[in-house]
A and B are shown apart, each in its own frame.
Chain A
Amino acid sequence: DADVTQTPRNRITKTGKRIMLECSQTKGHDRMYWYRQDPGLGLRLIYYSFDVKDINKGEISDGYSVSRQAQAKFSLSLESAIPNQTALYFCATSNIGNEQFFGPGTRLTVL
């Protein structure tokens, strides 16, 4: 079984809809992250959490919110989706240290 799972894997939605992307991990890591990937722009950090009570904004947090429900779960919400939020979204985890372990990604399309 995968160590980092993301649901859904693909989602098509309409402008203005609320969307939640979920991430679960079985690695026992305290640190979790959400990134978006756009062609030519690489991976950009949206939010990160170093433990259950810790939430921090990343480079591009506007239009997004997160919830750390437990050590193993970190969800990303788009309160009112817009077309330029169409992207590939990745969740990642890490322990203290630099290596991150990524999920398989969620492809989100906002029409």
Chain B
Amino acid sequence: GQQLNQSPQSMFIQEGEDVSMNCTSSSIFNTWLWYKQDPGEGPVLLIALYKAGELTSNGRLTAQFGITRKDSFLNISASIPSDVGIYFCAGNQFYFGTGTSLTVIP
């Protein structure tokens, strides 16, 4: 199957810091999506990207669709405690990455 690798696997940051994570694939994708999973819940969509090179923001979140169509990046600015959770990338709807676990220390 399609293999999506996310890095880092986990992050521990201080409140107020910026966060960067990425997702890479050996295959080309036509869409990239970023989801967040809060503890004890299912993932919820944060941002969807549909075009190579596209840069899209949603509040403090910014995501980019890599030019090669094999990667995508998610940045979170000025982190807050409610940013805690697992962040997943997904390519072409249902190929999910391995997840980045984010812990924000107040």
Contacts and interface: CB of A to CB of B under 8 A. Distances in A.
B33 A59 contact: no
Interface of B: 1, 4, 6, 9, 31, 33, 40-45, 48, 88, 90, 92-99
Interface residues of A, number: 22
B94 A100 contact: yes
B96 A44 contact: yes
16 contacts: A35-B94, A40-B98, A40-B99, A42-B4, A42-B88, A42-B96, A42-B99, A44-B1, A44-B96, A45-B94, A90-B43, A92-B42, A98-B90, A98-B92, A99-B45, A104-B42
A109 interface: no
Nearest to B97: A42
Nearest to B100: A42
A111 B9 CA distance: 29
B48 A98 contact: yes
Given A40-B9, A44-B96, 18 more contacts: A35-B94, A40-B98, A42-B4, A42-B96, A42-B98, A42-B99, A44-B1, A45-B96, A48-B94, A90-B42, A92-B42, A94-B93, A98-B31, A100-B43, A100-B45, A100-B94, A102-B44, A105-B40
A43 B1 contact: no
A79 B100 CA distance: 33
Interface of A: 4, 33, 35, 40-45, 48, 58-59, 90, 92, 94, 98-100, 102-105
A105 B41 contact: yes
B15 to A, nearest CB: 25
B98 A58 contact: no
Nearest to A31: B93
B33 A99 contact: yes
B33 A98 contact: yes
